[in-house]
Structure 1
């Protein structure tokens, strides 16, 4: 769906939202300079939990997304509008609806009108996979990444991951941060929190059990890390999504 008036005013050709409707998990969107949605594919309706695109047109992220996530998105959006530079291959843990979170790769670029001026932002968020183009810049990280996803609960040593990738420790850490925007240790903390989110919503396990099953040293450590990454404590998260 799109706001035809926006595209006519800026003399921009037809956008490609319908193409992304055929790509499972891909979210396509366009925002104007006021950061209001003017185009998007069907996936955005699912993420925002609405049944009709007219409920999104002209709206902003804060109408659908928790404040702490909006702050991060807005920071990037304003940076793009000001600098005219894109943000590419941003790997991040993002909500996918109903309390679940998953890894996604986001690309956002400035959108130019017929006068060559930035009139908005165009972006695509897609599911992250170690087999996708996200790792083309560092193919040697593939085996280490797979090991991290298999063994994050066991607090695998970073040195072992570097060896698995046939890299020195410093080279592995540098390449990993360049590709993912965070250190290997921080990535594994996010993996633990991702697993915890699913268990909080899907199971009746208490927080001590979730802490143990997700590889945290104790419940206090689990609570601190969960709150730091998700911006709310586990108890609040469970109450919010179990109520749905």
Structure 2
């Protein structure tokens, strides 16, 4: 039997059902409007539901905090434009509402003619994977410090001291585990928190910038657009519209 014939006989449903055999994996499939078409049982329960029918054709806005939903949907759009997310380390909420380390991969989904029809992805909770978590431990202290003190100036030297490393060793570990420098990570944490304030409050954009550690609103807007694809004022218009 040829490979193509075999795959057709097996069927997509049987193949994706294999993700239910892996308890620490969240797997999902979305259409081009970021609506859920499939999720394994762990993904469904992570959202607080029991069956696929309860989340079918819903988007992240139906079960995630608004600022996080914007992040997920924006990721979907970028993936469909050619951006590939592979083993990205990120802090996110567990199904118990606690912050934990996750590794996420997302890819575009195409039909047999090559037309983009959606996205699919997997997320793994690293707390259940001791080897992966041991790697993250190497930068856990400076990462937690950044997330707690992003609103003020943070020197690389103080982060290195927290991690009991030299500055060069700290930078190497950030590059290895997060694929970015400490300064890049600080900037992204500030921008993530700025987006949350833009979504959840009516604070002026300039005030959001200052509260998140940016001295110049113009620089803040430039960095925000680079990471999220729109300037802060445009995001506000989308929310209010």
Sort the TM-score into its range (normalised by shorter chain): 0.5 to 0.7
Residues 114-154 of structure 1: CA deviation (Å, up to 9, x unaligned): xxxxxxx974225789xx87542142322111111111111
Distance of aligned partners of 1:19 and 1:126 in 2 relative to their CA distance in 1, 3 Å threshold? closer
Gap regions ≥5 residues in structure 1: 32-36, 57-63, 78-86, 95-101, 110-120
Which residue pairs with 1:99 in the alignment?
none
**Which residue pairs with 2:148 in the alignment?**
150
TM-score by length of 1: 0.61
Q: 1:103 to 1:224 in 2, by over 3 A?
A: farther
Q: Pick from 77, 80, 90: which aligns with 1:70?
A: 77
Distance, in Å, in 1 between the alignment partners of 2:140 and 2:18 is: 34
TM-score (norm 2): 0.62
Counterparts of 1:119-138 in structure 2, within 5 Å, are 123-126=121-124, 135-138=133-136
- C-alpha displacement of 1:208: 1.3
Which residue in 1 is equivalent to 2:184? Answer: 186
1:177 Cα offset (Å) = 1.2
Residue number among 166, 169, 179 corresponding to 1:168 in the alignment: 166
Aligned length: 190
Q: Deviations over 1:192-218 (max 9, x none)?
A: 111111111111110111111111012
CA contact (8 A) 1:93 1:190 kept: no
Give the whole-Å Cα distance in 2 for the aligned partners of 1:162 and 1:137. 17
- CA separation of 1:134 and 1:232: change in aligned 2, threshold 3 A: farther
Match of 2:19 in 1: 16
Change (3 A) 1:54 1:231: closer
**In 1, distance between residues paired with 2:9 and 2:58?**
19
State the Cα distance separating 1:51 from its structure 2 match.
6.0
What are the equivalent positions in structure 2 for 1:30-45 lying under 5 Å apart?
Answer: 39-41=38-40, 43=43
CA RMSD of aligned residues (A): 4.1
Please tell me whether the aligned partners of residues 224 and 231 of structure 2 are also in contact (alpha carbons under 8 angstroms): yes
Q: How does 1:82-161 map to 2 (within 5 A)?
A: 87=86, 89-91=87-89, 105-107=103-105, 123-126=121-124, 135-161=133-159
